[in-house]
C-alpha cells in the first residue's frame, strides 16, 4: 500500500508542475487578459475587424453624433452577428460583411488590408 501512496504523491507533484506550466503559457498567449478563443467564423471575423482602424461613413458618423451613444455602434463588433449569406467574403482586395446587432439593425463593414470602412446597410 505504501508503494501506491508514493506513486500517487509523485503523480500529483508532476501534475501540479504541469498545470503551472500550462497556466503560464496561456497567460503569455493571452497577454494577461481574459482568454478569448475564436474558433467559429463569426467570432473570427469580428475579431479581425476590431484589430484594424475604422473609417465611418458621414451618415453613420452623423447618426452616432445625433444619438450621442457610440456604445451601440461598437456593440456590432463585440456581440454582432455576421450575416454570411448577404456578405461577400471572397472579393479581392476588399471583402465586405453585413453585421446585425441585437436590435436587428444592419451595418456594412468593408474589410480592406489596411482599414475597415463602415457604413449603414441599405438593401
Work out the pLDDT band at 27, boundaries 50, 70, 90. Answer: confident
Give the pLDDT confidence score for residue 36 in this predicted structure: 61
Of the candidates 24, 83, 76, which has an alpha carbon nearest to the alpha carbon of residue 49? 76
Residue 41 reports pLDDT greater than 60: yes
**63-89 mean pLDDT:** 79
Instruction: Please name the residues in contact with 30: beta carbons below 8 A apart, sequence gap of 6 or more.
Output: 36
Between 76 and 114, the more confident residue is 114
- Of 6-10, 40-44, 68-72, 87-91, the range with the lowest mean pLDDT is 68-72
Give the pLDDT confidence score for residue 13 in this predicted structure: 94
**56-72 mean pLDDT:** 75
Amino acid at each position: 500500500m505504501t508503494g501506491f501512496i508514493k506513486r500517487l504523491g509523485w503523480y500529483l507533484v508532476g501534475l501540479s508542475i504541469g498545470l503551472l506550466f500550462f497556466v503560464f503559457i496561456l497567460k503569455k498567449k493571452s497577454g494577461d487578459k481574459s482568454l478569448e478563443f475564436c474558433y467559429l467564423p463569426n467570432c473570427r471575423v469580428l475579431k479581425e475587424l476590431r484589430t484594424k482602424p475604422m473609417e465611418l461613413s458621414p451618415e453613420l458618423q452623423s447618426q452616432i453624433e445625433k444619438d450621442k451613444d457610440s456604445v451601440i455602434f461598437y456593440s456590432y463588433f463585440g456581440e454582432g452577428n455576421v450575416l454570411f449569406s448577404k456578405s461577400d467574403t471572397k472579393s479581392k482586395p476588399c471583402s465586405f460583411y453585413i453585421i446585425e446587432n441585437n436590435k436587428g439593425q444592419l451595418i456594412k463593414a468593408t474589410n480592406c488590408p489596411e482599414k475597415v470602412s463602415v457604413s449603414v446597410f441599405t438593401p
